[in-house]
Structure 1
């Protein structure tokens, strides 16, 4: 049971990091487009 939870948490952390990195990339890419609107 604990091994399953550890494996799940590892996969979950990897997915979370990937999502955060993708969000940061999209934000940095869209910054030049989004900033003038404000």
Structure 2
């Protein structure tokens, strides 16, 4: 993974949140989803 080098767009932040609120995430438990564009790597 490489840092994105730009700020996140609202839809890029909303997509993982929407996923975790949907039935598609029924078997996702105890996950930490970092929505930071690789910022933690810098």
Tell me the TM-score normalized by structure 2.
0.30
Which structure carries more relative contact order (alpha carbon 8 Å, separation 6+)?
2
Name the one with the larger helix percent: 1
Tell me the TM-score normalized by structure 1.
0.32
